[in-house]
Each structure stands twice: as structure tokens, then as C-alpha cells.
Amino acid sequence: MFLTNLLLLLLVRPKCNNIKELLDKVYNSMDVDKDGQLYREQAFDYIKKYDSDADNEVTRSEFKDGIKDLHLQVFEDALFFFFDVDKNGKVTDWDFKILYVLADRDGDGAVSVPEKDRFLNKFC
């Protein structure tokens, strides 16, 4: 699985503009109040709507079913790989805590658009 994900990232890497556009679309979908600040709770609440068994963990199959509304199935592996920080096959609040520690540069509890852009530039 790790090798598959690594290969996927290597194949996708030359298309960083596509990945940034994709993650911009996800960010904008999660920022429901459109204030340019994405709080961890806001982001995880958005992902939790895919949690069909209400166990506060979004499995890969739940994630796959959930992103159908965004028409992003082609990028399912890359998105799940991005959000599943500990690579345990589930997206949990812990994963979002880690992403926020990495992305929230000013420590205000929200990832602003410039912070998001700076964070994504580390990957591409």
C-alpha cells in the first residue's frame, strides 16, 4: 500500500497545478462560511459527514463514497493519502490536528488562504 501511494504521488507530482487546484476546491468546500479561515473543527465536521457509521473515523470506503459529490473520484487516492496523516486507513480528528500543527503558521487555530498556499507549496 505504501509503495502504491508513493508511486501515485510521484506520478501526480508533475501535475502540481492540478493538485493545488484540487486542494483549493476541497479547502473552499470546507470553508462553509467563506471567510478565508478554515478552522480544524470546520474541516473535520466537513469530513465527518462522510462517516456513515458515526464512529468518528472516516474509512477509505466512506471517503470514496463521500467525495462523489465533489466529482473527485479520479483523485481519491491522492486526497485520502493527504488527509490520512498516520496512514492507518482512517481519517480522524488526530489527522486534522497534525495537519493544523503543520499548516497553521501563526497558531490562531485557523488555516488562512496564504497559510494553505504556503503549506501546499511544500508538496509541489
Q: What is the pLDDT of residues 75-88, one digit of tens each?
A: 677 777 778 888 88
Sorted by where each begins, the domain ranges of the chain are 2-121
Average pLDDT over residues 51-67: 86
Q: What is the pLDDT of residues 11-21, one digit of tens each?
A: 544 456 666 77
CB-based contacts of 115: which residues, under 8 Å, 6+ apart? 103, 104, 105, 106
Confidence of residue 105 (pLDDT cuts 50, 70, 90): very high
Average pLDDT over residues 35-50: 87
CATH code of the domain made up of 2-121? 1.10.238
Cα-to-chain-centroid distance, residue 109? 17
**Residue 5 predicted with pLDDT over 60:** no
* 72 neighbors 22 (Cβ within 8 angstroms): yes
